[in-house]
Amino acid sequence: MSDKDVLQDPRDKYPAPPFPKQPQPRPGLASEMNPKPDHGEESYRGSGKLAGRKALVTGGDSGIGRAVAIAFAREGADVAISYLPNDEADARQVIELIEAEGRKAVALPGDIQEESWCQAMVKKAAESLGGLDILVVNAARQQFRKDIAHLSTADFDKTLKTNLYALHWITQAALPHMPAGGAIVNTASVQAYDPSPILLDYATTKAGIVAYTKALSKQVIKKGIRANAVAPGPVWTALQPSGGQPDEKVKHFGENSDLGRPGQPAELAPVYVLLASPEASFINGEIYGVTGGNGIA
């Protein structure tokens, strides 16, 4: 294989804006996006980094969670995915992709805004997989509001429950199942460090996830469990056209990155694999930025 076959300019690897107008109702479907996101369906190749592991990935039907679930399965893990019932079509595709790798797949439809479901979901995942040693809390709510006057208490409550309360409920329920050597990987955001004015509540929760992960890591390492987070920049997912950004921003989404395009979910998955794997045995309490050059400092 020549260098020409191996090397590729990252600026040209994936589509760049402008993108077509494509509003969707929340929570949005990856299958309805144009261009369709790359979750690694064809591109991700595993090498046994997670052989025999048992993972729960929230928001595993689309976006970053979908890419992570696919990558974990191709690295040898059995995977349970949680998702909203309305996302069954996307979730079914992920289940089939996991099973195509000869791994066990568990579908967990439900609403993580409910504490009782978070507890039941973790229990079902652990029972179905025969244990749990990787937890990826990734599902999130993002709804732009142009002015604080338009950010209702109901909006604020839904975002905090989905992004922060659920993180706590799921982690609290999962830890009794997790052995030494296990790993927790949360999804933060560049919004925690450089918040957009139209994402006031979302950015607040992502900053909370950074603090929560750092504090949690100091607790769970005493049990031999590591906790880290990934902080993505602009990533082409169904979160954006389904109310996460105004239509005009979706059209130009990611053009201000150093690469002039948004990231694809498949470009995030290898970082989650690393942080979940034994290769990251000396990594704890860290926030990994994958921002297209925008940084998290």
Domain boundaries, the chain: 25-280
> What is the per-residue pLDDT for 57?
98
Cα separation, 267 vs 40, whole angstroms: 8
| Superfamily for domain range 25-280 | NAD(P)-binding Rossmann-like Domain (3.40.50.720)
Catalytic residue among 14, 83, 193, 202: 202
Beta bridge partners of 226: 183
Q: At what angle do helices 63-74 and 265-276 cross, to 10 degrees?
A: 50
Cα separation, 58 vs 251, whole angstroms: 27
> What is the per-residue pLDDT for 2?
43
Contacts of 259 (CB under 8 A, 6+ apart): 10, 11, 292, 293
> What is the per-residue pLDDT for 27?
80
Query: Which residues of the chain have a pLDDT value below 50?
Result: 1-4
Measured from the Cβ of residue 164, the count of other Cβ atoms closer than 10 Å reads: 18
230-259 pLDDT, tens digit per residue, is: 999 999 999 899 999 999 999 999 999 999
14 given a catalytic annotation: no
- By the 8 A CB rule, do 170 and 122 touch? yes
pTM given for the model: 0.96
Q: Which two three-digit tokens encode residue 193?
A: 């460090």
56-105 pLDDT, tens digit per residue, is: 999 999 999 999 999 999 999 999 999 999 999 999 999 999 999 999 99
- 210-214 long-range contacts (CB < 8 A, ≥24 apart) are 210/287, 212/164, 212/167, 212/168, 212/186, 213/184, 213/186, 213/188, 213/285, 213/287, 214/285, 214/287
